């Protein structure tokens, strides 16, 4: 486990792009994401930077170096504003060392206290080891979308949906 004093979480900044791109382009990260190539990763990053403008996208740093990110897709639609989907990615070199937990706790706090979110939910592909982290933090599975993802080998993967009341 990494000492808490070495971990810092802040809002995502434009200058994080190269690090973020590097983390996302890791084949082990891409395996669990809907994106396939740099073009798609850059499109996804554009969306995350839009959320960074309203301070709902974050970077976790270790010793000042970005090691993961998370985004709360805060809804501007009034009737949907009490609930929020989020996404999180941690650099493979720092997995299993408490970074994901620290980032998750941060976004759960931000969702509740800054954005008034009452229901936080996520989408994860079946088999992703992060499922256990979400369970440990109180997220409960509520649905599955079979054959949601189809990889380049033509193999289908189920999308699993989980949520937690804040």
Partner 1 sequence: MSLILESDYDIRYSRAEDLEFLKQWMADPQTHMWYPPSSEKDVRQFVQNWIGFSKYRASITAIYQNQPIGIATVFLMPYLKVAHLCMMYIVVAPKWRRRGVGGSLLKNVKHLAKTRFRLESMHIEVWEGCPIIELSKRYGFEEIFTQEDFVHMDGKSYSRIVLETKL
Residues forming the site for partner 1 (CB under 8 A): 34-37, 40, 43, 75-83, 118-119, 121, 142-152, 161, 163
Residue closer to partner 1 (CB basis): 79 or 132 = 79
Q: What is the closest distance, in whole angstroms, from the C-beta atom of residue 164 to partner 1 in the complex?
A: 12
Q: What is the closest distance, in whole angstroms, from the C-beta atom of residue 89 to partner 1 in the complex?
A: 15
Residue closer to partner 1 (CB basis): 62 or 87 = 87
94 neighbors 2 (Cβ within 8 angstroms): yes
Q: What is the closest distance, in whole angstroms, from the C-beta atom of residue 62 to partner 1 in the complex?
A: 29
- Long-range (24+ apart) CB contacts under 8 A made by 128-134 are 128/32, 130/32, 130/88, 130/100, 131/160, 131/162, 133/100, 133/101, 133/104, 134/104, 134/162
68 neighbors 90 (Cβ within 8 angstroms): yes
Residue closer to partner 1 (CB basis): 105 or 150 = 150
Residue closer to partner 1 (CB basis): 42 or 113 = 42
133 neighbors 104 (Cβ within 8 angstroms): yes
Q: What is the closest distance, in whole angstroms, from the C-beta atom of residue 110 to partner 1 in the complex?
A: 20
Residue closer to partner 1 (CB basis): 82 or 109 = 82
Reading phi first (left if > 0) and then psi (alpha if -120 to 50, else beta), residue 61 is in beta
Q: What is the closest distance, in whole angstroms, from the C-beta atom of residue 153 to partner 1 in the complex?
A: 11
Strand 119-125 versus strand 83-90 pairing type:
parallel
């Amino acid at each position: 486990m990494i000492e808490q004093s070495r971990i810092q979480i802040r809002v995502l900044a434009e200058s994080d792009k190269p690090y973020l791109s590097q983390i996302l382009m890791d084949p082990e990260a891409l395996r669990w994401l809907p994106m396939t190539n740099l073009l798609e990763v850059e499109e996804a990053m554009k969306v995350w930077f839009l959320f960074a403008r309203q301070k709902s996208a974050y970077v976790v740093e270790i010793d000042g170096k970005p090691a993961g990110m998370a985004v709360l897709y805060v809804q501007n639609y009034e009737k949907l504003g009490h609930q929020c989907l989020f996404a999180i990615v941690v650099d493979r070199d720092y997995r299993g060392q408490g970074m994901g937990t620290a980032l998750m706790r941060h976004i759960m706090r931000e969702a509740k206290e800054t954005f008034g979110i009452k229901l936080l939910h996520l989408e994860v592909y079946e088999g992703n080891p992060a499922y256990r982290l979400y369970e440990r933090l109180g997220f409960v599975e509520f649905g599955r979308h079979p054959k949601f993802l189809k990889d380049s080998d033509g193999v289908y993967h189920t999308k699993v949906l989980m949520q937690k009341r804040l």
